[in-house]
Chain A
Amino acid sequence: MAEALRPVVFLLSSRQNMARLSIITDCLSLKYVPAFTLLVFLGPLAAGLIGTILPAFGYFPALGSKDFSLLSWEHLIEHPALPEALYLTLLSGFIATALSLGLAIAFTAAWQGSPSFNRVRKLLAPILAIPHSALAIGFAFLLAPSGWLARLFSPGLTGWDTPPDIAIIHDPFAVSLILGLVIKETPYLLLMIIAASDQGQARQRLVLAQTLGYSPVAAWIKAVLPLIYRQIRLPIYAVLAFSLSVVDVALILGPTTPPTLPVLILRWFNDPDLSYRALASTAAAFQLVIVILSILAWYLLEQLVAQILCGWLSNGQRSFAEQTIRFFSRSFFQLLGSIFCGSLLVIVLWSFTRRWRYPDALPSEWSIQSWHSNLDTLLLSGCTTLITGIISALIAITLSVACLENEKRRGKTAGSGALWLLYLPLMVPQVSFLFGTQVIAIKLGIDGSWLALIWSHLLFVLPYVFLSLADPYRYQDERFVNIAHCLGASPWRAFWKIRLPLLLRPLLFALAIGFAVSVAQYLPTLFAGGGRFMTLTTEAVNLSASGNRRIISVYALLQGLFPLLVFSAAIGFSNFIFRHRRALSQP
C-alpha cells in the first residue's frame, strides 16, 4: 500500500512542488484528502441526482426537450401500475426492515454472551460477504414449487409428480422478496449491534441491570438497547433505503405484475421506446422522494415508540417474556440459517448437475458440463469482477487511511455530519442517480470505460471500507506511534513501520469487505459499464430469468465464492504474518 498512497500525494501536490516532496508538503496535501474523498463520491452522487431530476421535469436536451413541464409527472401518476408497485415497495421495504431489526434485537437480547451467539458472531463476516443476488438465486432454487425442498418431500408427503402451479417465488404479496431480504439484513444489523455494544458501556450497563435483579432479556432491552439504538440508527436507515430500492433481489424473488417500483423504473429505462426515459426519470425522482419520506416516517415511529416505552423502561418490571423471546429468536435464527445453508447447497448441486428429474431428491447424473461450456464468459466476467473489486477496494483503503491519518495528525475526529455524508450513497436509491451519472459519463466521454466502472463501484465500496477501518484506526494506542517518534522515527517512518503493520488485520479485513461490496454491485455495473462490462453478478442476475438452473448456478456459485475466498485469504494471510506474534495472532 506504500505505492498506493503515492498517487494521492502526487495528484494533490502542485507540479512545482513535486521536486521537493518533503514531509511538509506531504502533510499539507494530507489536509486536502478529506475534501478530495468527499468530492470523489459525493460529486457523482450530486451530479447523478441532477441528471435524473432535470429530465423528470422535462429538461432532456439529448431527446430534444428543453422546456420544463410536469407532463411526465402526470403520466407517472396516471400509470396503472403505479399504485400497486408503490404498495408492494413500501410493504416489502418496511416489513423486511422491521423484521430484520426485530430479529437482530431479539436474538442479541436473548442469547448474547452464550456459546451459540459467539458461533453466530464468527459466521457473520462470511454470511455478509456473499452477494444478496447469489443468495436470492439459491433461495429461489430451494423454495420454488420445483425447488429442492419440494423435491425432497415429493411425491411422498405432497403427492406432487409435477411442480404445482403456485407462485411461491415471485409471489404477488412479496413474501419471498421479504424473506430473501431478511436473510441478508438480519446478520448485517446483528453485526452493527455487536459493533455498537463493543464500545460504550454496554457491558457494564448489562451487568449493573442484572445485579439489580433484571433477567437477561429485560436487562438488555431496558438498559443497553436505548444506548445502542442511537449508534445503529444510520445502518437501520441504510437497510430501510436498501430494501425500498433493491433491484437485483426484487428481479429474482419479487412480484412481477406489477413488480416493485425500482424494478419498474429499470424496465422503463431499458425500454427501446426512448419516450419512456422521461417517465423513468420521473419515477426515479419519485423513488427518491419515497425513500426520504420513508426514513422520515421511520424516524417519527422511533420517536413514538420511545414516547410509549419511556414509562415502561422504568416501571421496575424485572423480566420480559424471557422464554418466548428465547424460543422464537432461536427458532427463527435456525430457520434463517437453514434457508441460508440450503440456498448455498442447492446452487452447488445445480452447478454440477447434468440431469435432475422432478421429483428426484438429488440429481441422477452429474457433470462439469455447465462449467466447461461457459468457461470463456466465466473467465471474462470473473476477471472483470476481480479487477474491479480489488482496484476499487484498494482505492477506498488508500483514501480512508489518508483521511484517518489526517485526523490523527490534526488531532480532530470528523463529526457526526461526516458520518451522514458517508451514509448518503447507501441511502440514496441507486436507480435515482445512476441514470444521471450515466448521462454525465456520456458527456465526459468516459461511459463504458474502466474508469467509470471502478468509480461507480467506489461510491459504494468507500463508505463500507471507511466504516470498517475507522474504529480500529481511531482507537489504536497512540503511544506506539509516539514512542516511535521519541526513538527518532520520522512521521512517515512511524506510519509505515508501526502504524500500518499494527493495523494489518483490519486493513486486510477492510479490503475483503470492499471487495465483497464491489462484487455484489448490479445496477452500477449495468449503468456505468454501458453494456460493455459483464461481471459475475450482472450475468447471474440477467440469466436468472432464463430458467436454466445449471448455468445460473455456475455464475451464482462463483459470485459467492469470490468474496469468501478473499475473506479467507485476508484472515489466512494475517494469521501467517503474525504466526510468531502472540499479541496479534488473534483478531
Chain B
Amino acid sequence: MTTNQRPGAVQIPEPLILQDLTLSLCSSGITKTLFKKFDLEIQPGEITTIMGPSGCGKSSLLSFISGTLAKDFNAVGRVCLGQRDITSSPPEQRHIGMLFQEDLLFPHLSVGENLGFGIPAAVRQKNQRKMLIEEALEEAGLSGYADQDPATLSGGQRARVAVMRTLLSRPSALLLDEPFSKLDSALRERFRTFIFEHARAHNLPTLLVTHDPEDARSAEGLILNMPFK
C-alpha cells in the first residue's frame, strides 16, 4: 500500500464501514428485498469488489452509501466513516466520491469549470483553485484543456476528467459503479490502472461494483458475489 499522501488532502484516512444493511424496493405496493443484514468494512487504500448480475441491487447499494438512493427504496442499517455515523447525513456532507459508467461531466461547463465544481468552497483564493485545476489536468494528461467543451473530448479523456473532478472534492471514500464498462478493452486496462493508482495514492477506502471478472481480479482486493448468501 502506498502512503504518498498528497498535500491538500486534510482528512485522516478512515475505513468505510457498513453495518446490518437491509435494502428493499417498494414499487406499487410490492416490496422486494434485495439483500439483508449485510456487513462490510473497507480499509483506507483497499479496493473491495462486489460482483453480480444486473438488477441484484449493486448500484442501489452504492446510492445508499452516497445518500442518493431514490425514494422508492427502503433501507435500514448504518454507514460509517471510522467512528462517524453518516447514515442520516445529506449526500453533500458525506464526502463520498462516486463514479459511474457515464462520465457525467456537466455539459454546460468547460473542462476546467467541471473540475472547479469539485474543489471545496473552503479553497477561496482564485489562484489556488486555478492551480489545483491545472495540476489535476496535468495528472490526467490533459494540460491546456481547461477551456475546452467536454463534448469535444474523447471517451477516455472525459473519464479521466471525471476521476480528477471527484478527487478534487477531497472524498473520504470512493464508490465505482462499473466505471470501465463503456470503454473499449485497450482503454479499459489503462483507465483501470489510472483509477486504482489514484484511489490508493489518496488512501481511499474504495468499493467497486462490476460484472467483469477481469475488473475484479485487477482490483487485488476482497471479492464478494451478489446476491449475498
A residues within 8 Å of B by Cβ?
A: 410-412, 477-480, 482-491, 494, 497-498, 501-502, 504, 578, 580-584
Contact = CB atoms under 8 A, between A and B. Distances in A.
B90 interface: yes
Size class of the contact patch on chain B:
20 to 34
B72 interface: yes
B78 interface: no
A479 B92 CA distance: 14
B71 A483 contact: no
Contact of B120 (A411, A488, A498): A488
A487 B72 contact: no
B149 interface: yes
B91 interface: yes
A179 B171 CA distance: 64
B150 interface: yes
B107 A489 contact: no
Given A410-B71, A411-B70, A502 B152 contact: no
Interface in B111-165: 117-118, 120-121, 149-152, 165
Contact of B91 (A478, A486, A497, A501): A486
A482 B98 CA distance: 9
Given A411-B72, A485-B67, A583-B151, A490 B108 contact: no
Contacts of A480: 104, 106
Given A483-B104, A502-B106, 17 more contacts: A411-B70, A412-B71, A482-B68, A482-B91, A485-B66, A485-B67, A485-B92, A486-B97, A487-B117, A487-B166, A488-B92, A488-B118, A491-B90, A498-B106, A502-B107, A504-B108, A581-B108
Given A502-B108, A581-B108, A487 B68 contact: no
Contacts of B63: 482
| Residues of B contacting A: mostly | loop
A482 B121 CA distance: 18
Contacts of B107: 502, 581, 583-584
Given A482-B91, A581-B149, A584-B108, A487 B100 contact: no
A479 B96 CA distance: 14
Given A483-B98, A502-B108, A581-B108, A497 B117 contact: yes
10 contacts: A479-B104, A485-B91, A485-B92, A487-B97, A487-B118, A487-B166, A497-B117, A498-B106, A502-B107, A578-B108
Nearest to B97: A486
B188 interface: no
Contacts of A485: 66-68, 90-92
Contacts of B121: 488
4 closest Cβ contacts across the A-B interface?
A: A411-B71, A582-B151, A485-B91, A583-B107
A498 B96 CA distance: 19
B117 A580 contact: no
A391 B89 CA distance: 39
Interface in B166-213: 166, 169, 171
A486 B68 CA distance: 8
